[in-house]
Chains A and B, each alone.
Chain A
Amino acid sequence: MKARYFTGLFVLALSNSAAAESTSPSAHPSSAPDTRLFDARAELYMGVATAPFYSKSLPEAGGHALTVVAGGSWRVTRDFGVGVSVPVVATTVRQPAGAHVEEAAWGNPMLWAEGHVALWDRGSLRSSGRWRAGVGAPLAESGSRAMLSENRALAIADALRGWRDRELYAPGVVPAAVTAGVELEGPRFRAEATLKLVSLMRISDAGLASDDPRPFGLSSVFGLGGTALVTRAFGVGTRVYMVADPIPQAESPRARTLQWVLAPLLSFRVGPHVALDTELVAPIGGALGGDTFALGFHAKVAW
């Protein structure tokens, strides 16, 4: 019931064009009506995932999930803004024998600041840098020690997004994330490279006391991508991410050191105020490969 409640909440949120986003800099080609003062964003991911989990008796978590990150931002100056992102997850968590149980959980809300720096401009070709720094409130739910239900729901949500936004879904930690990116933009294309570092400072064992949670975790996400602008309002692109956890947040016998994620996308600008993207998240190889797929929708309304 809880899951259905959150599904309903999402539909309501989207119908009002209220919105959200992760802690990556505004990256998608259509997602930047940048001259506006305020924007509201929503990101929805739906899919199926099986991911390593941080418990000796339950070394993996799997199921279906619907994740929503809602939020918005305020452009304080032309090149600087602040924003908030609030993640929530509705899942059916697969139990060991194969039954599923509905579970919903809040992730870690993030407050962030972001900036934009013009690097050079040669007429039709220009380059810019973007950065974002965020810190989260440690509100992600972990559930009871006996069941770890919310913990598993968040692990599924984390996998669904290809582990690119661990700060949103790690329970028992104060998360912080810093992202830097470079963009190259021409008349018909946009290319970008981003690097994100996520630190997870543990403040509670999140129910994993006997399963060796680490006092500090570090995750890194390196992304490369390009988008071809087919028309002024429509772009087709793809991104490749390399996710590595130099210091995992906890031990998992099924964790791997490296995860590659392929994310093809379509981007649309719908009028002067609304941008929509859709993205396929396809982890390649690694611990998530073969068992995890998701379809993502991003909506951004600016005014």
Chain B
Amino acid sequence: MKPSAVFSLTCIALLAAITTAACKEQYWVCEATDEERVSTLPTRLSETGLYADAQSLELGDGVLAYHPQFPLFSDGSEKRRWIRLPAGSRIDTRDMNDWIFPERTRVWKEFSRDGRRIETRLLEKYGPGEDDWVGVAYVWDASQRDAVAAPSGAIDVGGTSLDVPASGECMACHGGRRSRVLGFSAIQLSTEASPGEVNLMELMSTNRLTHPPAAPFRVPGNETEQAALGYLHANCSHCHNPARPSSTGARCFDPKTPTDFRLLVDELMSPQGTQTYRTAIGKSMKPGDPGDSPIIDQMSRRGMFKQMPPLATEIVDREAVDLLTRWISEMR
């Protein structure tokens, strides 16, 4: 065969391969930001209702502080969280694993580094539908007096390595659960509340749940098992669960694997009864062999390929790697 024919065939094969790859949907490709929807949110944090007085940082009417018992790792940022439910409204808790929030609910999360506020993220439920959520991050100014909406996100904010997500990225994580609010749930609020914070008991006693549970929930197992199951629930289950709300667009962090890291309220009798043990043991984790467990390898990576989690982190969570290594080592 002539060299020119070989070259032509090679080019055609390469182009076919490249075109196929380009057309194939990638799991990390998300919906673009709905700019029109985002533009309905206030341009300044001080106008969102979080603060009654932005200078003194006194909270606005109806704004409740809370903290989840298993926080999401955010590259070492300190975080504070608040929620505002419309006056007189209740959370639909018929599905105790995925609460449905009333229209006009607002949820905020503030990220700080070294005592300086970097960004505050806002999620708002703007309509009655389960998918009617919009989010934007507000980047704090140098004077720390107010923060300005950044729909396109920002990189390395305030001289830190913290990247602020674009509005379109909010649902990359939050879109993975029917409730959309990941840290304000029955499992996450089954914890002691600090002074001034709300927890599950407080929500029950103030009649904010349509179907209150009999009591708070307890994650099963010993201390290591509880921490490991809780970590996977908080950091992995919004992608790794088979009950992700459907999307008409790109798949966007929908791994389509059978692994399920959720903690479900009716499966807390024993660690072995949880979805993690039932779907991931033997696959993501090899009992007694953390060195051969893909989850440890992927959690220990950062870079373009195969890092876990795949977004919103540039630093390996060493504490979590140690925790899961210990947990897998002790598994029999």
Contacts and interface: CB of A to CB of B under 8 A. Distances in A.
Interface of A: 3-4, 7-8, 10-11, 14, 44, 46, 57-60, 66, 90, 92, 95-103, 144, 146-149, 231, 233-234, 266, 268-271, 276, 278, 295, 297
Contacts of A90: 22
B124 interface: no
B166 A59 contact: no
Closest A-B pairs by Cβ, 8 of them = A98-B311, A96-B153, A97-B165, A57-B154, A96-B163, A97-B312, A99-B30, A146-B151
Nearest to B20: A7
B219 interface: no
Given A57-B150, A58-B153, A146-B151, 16 more contacts: A7-B19, A59-B155, A95-B168, A96-B154, A97-B163, A99-B253, A100-B28, A100-B30, A101-B29, A101-B31, A101-B166, A146-B38, A147-B33, A231-B3, A234-B4, A268-B4
A103 to B, nearest CB: 7
Contacts of B1: none
Given A57-B150, A90-B22, A147 B29 contact: no
B35 interface: yes
Contacts, number: 129
Contacts of A60: 155
A266 B7 CA distance: 9
Contacts of B4: 233-234, 268-271
Contacts of A57: 139, 150, 152-155, 157
Nearest to B8: A270
B30 A96 contact: no
A163 B20 CA distance: 27
Q: Which of A96, A146, A147 has the most CB of B within 10 A?
A: A96
Nearest to B252: A99
A144 B35 contact: yes
Contacts of A101: 29-33, 166, 168
A286 B287 CA distance: 47
Interface in B1-58: 3-5, 7-8, 11, 14-15, 18-19, 22-23, 26, 28-33, 35, 38-39
A276 B19 CA distance: 18
B23 A95 contact: no
A149 B32 contact: yes
Contacts of A278: 11
B250 interface: yes
Contacts of A8: 23
Contacts of B31: 101
Interface string B171-210: 0100000000000000000000000000000000000000
Nearest to B2: A233
B28 A147 contact: no
A166 B119 CA distance: 35
Contacts of B296: none
Nearest to A2: B32
Interface string B106-138: 000000000000000000000000000000000
Contact of B3 (A46, A96, A233): A233
Contacts of A46: 18, 22
Contacts of B14: 295, 297
Contacts of B260: none
A153 B306 CA distance: 24
Nearest to A56: B154
Nearest to A267: B7
Contacts of B30: 95, 99-101
Contacts of A147: 32-33, 35, 151-152, 166
A270 B6 CA distance: 10
B150 A4 contact: no
A49 to B, nearest CB: 12
B31 to A, nearest CB: 7
Contacts of B29: 92, 99-102
Contacts of B151: 146-147
19 contacts: A44-B15, A90-B22, A95-B153, A95-B169, A96-B153, A96-B155, A98-B310, A98-B311, A98-B312, A99-B29, A99-B172, A99-B311, A101-B31, A102-B29, A146-B38, A147-B35, A233-B4, A268-B3, A270-B8
Given A98-B28, A98-B310, A146 B152 contact: yes
